[in-house]
Structure 1
Amino acid sequence: MDLYRSVRAVTTASGDGAVDWDGVREAAKAGTRPGSLDLSPAERDGYAADVRAARDRLQTVSGTEFDVPDRLTVQNRHHWIDANVDTFRRVMEPIEAEVKTLFPNVSRVANTGTMAFTLGFLARHVLGQYDPLLLADDPEEHGLYFVHPNIRRVADELDVEYERFRRWIVFHEVAHAAEFGAAPWLPGYLESRLESGVRTLSRGGLDREAFLDLDAAMTAVEGYAELLMDRAFDEEYADLREKVDERRDTGGGPVGRLVRRLLGLGLKRRQYERGTRFFETVADECGLAAAGVVWERPENLPTDAELDRPELWIRRVDPC
């Protein structure tokens, strides 16, 4: 970790845009230890075996055929930053195109520092990621990433068996691949809602409907993945969930908890809890196949109100 180089990359931010993305990349990596990626042959085989097992089990449980993304990589933290800085850039492009400030150089330094801090913080905490690569040039390209140093570190901190914890993380991320495999329309839907919301923000407005739709869709994504995990994972994992949730609540001290709130990371937990309750109710009432009806077409996504009252969604969609 080279904090001097990180600060220098931010303070010397240049270019014409509101963010110096090359500076973001350099600063985030300089301020973040990459972590070891010295995997034994057994560990490499273990990741591959876990992905195959997750794919096969999830296909059987969900009744959906899907492909695991070609971009399947075991990463260190710097690799994760490289993979995600372009996503941040794509999302921010509409705002950068619209935003004009009286002091562009000062603003660019502040924006570059904020983005670098965000990516560095996330790189130190992300365990696995299914990346639909929204707004990318190739709509067919998706990614599946596992941040090995973080998985190793968290397994040690939680005092759980590393191989079991790794397998649990793999199953969760492959469950997201199953969702997007069942709903080829989903990336385009998310992109349209994201673009509409960001475009309106860049003009000083707020497209509440777009952000509500986006939140409801992502809540469904998190909840259905948790439902599939519950049915497909080949071991009991309540202890893993309990320890991970406890770590989120207490880990990192007051500064870490503040950063998580500022970055909206509590929103993702709320999404998975709310989505899980919705899909468990649907599955209990009508069966697992009925829960999968959500992915048949965009109109079948639950609304914000239906997420809290699944009976309304069941009445409207009639999946039973």
Structure 2
Amino acid sequence: MTSLGGVEMVDWNLAVATATRLVRPGPEVTREEARAAVSELRRHAKSSEEHVRGFTGMQPDRPSESDTPVLVVDRPGWVRANVAGFRELLTPLLAKVQERRSGTPGGAVLGAVGGKVTGVEVGMLLSFLASRVLGQYETFAPATRELPGGADGSGRLLLVAPNIVHVERELEVDPHDFRLWVCLHEETHRTQFAAVPWLRDHIQGEIQAFLSETDMDPSTLLERMREVAQSVAGGRSQGAEGEEKPEAGRAGLVELVQTPTQREILSRLTAVMSLLEGHADYVMDGVGPAVVPSVSEIREKFQKRRATGAGRLDQALRKLLGLDAKLRQYREGERFVRTVVDDLGMDGFNRVWISPNTLPTKSEIVSPADWVARMRS
């Protein structure tokens, strides 16, 4: 990354150290239980390939895309993978800000302090998320020995074992069924990227276009990030009479840097992420009855947990980080997929993967009939 005097805009090593220090420990398990959980998750991830591809009719575009690794990780492992991904994605933006800062008085001092501050802030955010994510298809981090990717540079499937064990215990569901159910969702994401060769580059291009539109001086950018971190640390802000007070940090960093062009890009990104998440939910529940005996119980309990959160502070943090919006993505995306499949069948729905032009817009996600009409015209 471009740096000034060897100082980076974000101290990524400090971000990892902060997150791993603050993240809550996982559930208590014996060594034998841990080994059994890891082994079972690997088996379920493998068996999910056949289930998902048979149900969706989606196959890898090239044989090499079938070798995307499955990594069963702990919470610090998830943090390290995501920091690597963030670092890759944010390099152009931070280099741009770094260049602007280099011409300002005291830029080196600002960089030294700002890099540490933002490193801590990123670490705080990741420490919160690291105990909640069950799985993830990570696509952007470059392959390394510690974080292998597919032979063609594709990503890797992450399954966060302690979080899966924690949730299955909290919900009091059959652990074998729950682990397979989670793997079906995450394998759907791996299949999406393996079978749609342009998808990764399209999403990455949209993200980079969004970031390239950011035009903010370094001190303002760092201040905004501090506002976000302070909101996370405090959970909520109280006015003099005890009423909840609006604050800039509550909207989240993304909301604070949007230009009109960014809002257009974000609308497209929201639509495609709603599609991907809704499709994964639709598939996991569509495959579920045949291979997960207790899928109805799992879905009912999981939906309730997903909707309510763990408490007042948890709900405030979820709102701050945009997780409430993500829940809407799941619901609206799943409804879109279900409605289109009911109308056109799975082959008709799969036209969505032809090119970026056949992706639904944000308004079409909410109104699937409009997408169907566009495809028929």
TM-score bracket relative to the smaller structure? 0.7 to 0.9
Q: 1:208 to 1:44 in 2, by over 3 A?
A: closer
2-structure distance, mates of 1:69, 1:199 = 33
The aligned counterpart of 1:38 is 31
The aligned counterpart of 1:20 is 11
Which of these two proteins has the greater Rg computed from alpha carbons?
2
2-structure distance, mates of 1:308, 1:185 = 24
Matched position secondary structure for 1:144: strand
Counterpart check, 1:54 vs 2:48 = yes
Q: 1:205 to 1:212 in 2, by over 3 A?
A: closer
Write out per-residue CA displacement over residues 94-136 of structure 1, whole angstroms, 9 at most, x where no aligned residue.
3322333864444333312210011111111111111122687
The aligned counterpart of 1:304 is 362
RMSD (Å), alpha carbons: 2.5
Match for 1:257 among 288, 293, 315?
A: 315
Matched position secondary structure for 1:125: coil
CA contact (8 A) 2:81 2:141 kept: no
Q: 1:229 to 1:205 in 2, by over 3 A?
A: closer
Counterpart check, 1:122 vs 2:120 = no
Work out the percentage of aligned pairs sharing the same amino acid.
32
Q: 1:30 to 1:269 in 2, by over 3 A?
A: same
Count, aligned residues? 306
Whichever residue aligns with residue 88 of structure 1, its letter is F
CA contact (8 A) 2:85 2:139 kept: no
CA contact (8 A) 2:136 2:186 kept: yes
2-structure distance, mates of 1:219, 1:196 = 19
CA contact (8 A) 1:126 1:150 kept: yes
- The alpha carbon displacement at 1:34 in A equals 5.3
Counterpart check, 1:212 vs 2:225 = no
The aligned counterpart of 2:222 is none
2-structure distance, mates of 1:38, 1:188 = 40
Whichever residue aligns with residue 77 of structure 1, its letter is R
- The alpha carbon displacement at 1:69 in A equals 4.7
Whichever residue aligns with residue 129 of structure 2, its letter is L
The aligned counterpart of 1:230 is 285
Matched position secondary structure for 1:201: coil
Counterpart check, 1:77 vs 2:75 = yes
The aligned counterpart of 1:270 is 328
- The alpha carbon displacement at 1:280 in A equals 0.9
Q: 1:15 to 1:268 in 2, by over 3 A?
A: farther
Write out per-residue CA displacement over residues 222-275 of structure 1, whole angstroms, 9 at most, x where no aligned residue.
111122222222235233223223223333321111111111111221111111
Matched position secondary structure for 1:18: coil
2-structure distance, mates of 1:304, 1:37 = 46
- The alpha carbon displacement at 1:318 in A equals 2.5
Counterpart check, 1:191 vs 2:197 = no
Match for 1:142 among 144, 152, 155?
A: 155
The aligned counterpart of 2:241 is none
CA contact (8 A) 1:34 1:78 kept: no
Match for 1:94 among 92, 95, 106?
A: 92
The aligned counterpart of 1:8 is none
Q: 1:149 to 1:201 in 2, by over 3 A?
A: same
Matched position secondary structure for 2:214: helix
2-structure distance, mates of 1:68, 1:55 = 9
TM-score by length of 2: 0.75
Match for 1:245 among 303, 306, 314?
A: 303
CA contact (8 A) 2:184 2:283 kept: no
TM-score by length of 1: 0.87
CA contact (8 A) 1:37 1:76 kept: no
Write out per-residue CA displacement over residues 261-319 of structure 1, whole angstroms, 9 at most, x where no aligned residue.
11111122111111111111111111122111111211110011211221111111139
1-structure distance, mates of 2:341, 2:296 = 19
Match for 1:131 among 122, 134, 138?
A: 138
CA contact (8 A) 2:42 2:72 kept: no
Q: Flag as ranges the 4+ runs of structure 1 deviating above 6 A.
A: 134-139
Whichever residue aligns with residue 24 of structure 1, its letter is A
2-structure distance, mates of 1:287, 1:249 = 30
CA contact (8 A) 1:25 1:85 kept: yes
1-structure distance, mates of 2:346, 2:30 = 38
Whichever residue aligns with residue 72 of structure 2, its letter is V
- Correspondence list, 1:151-162, <5 A: 151-162=164-175
Whichever residue aligns with residue 311 of structure 1, its letter is A
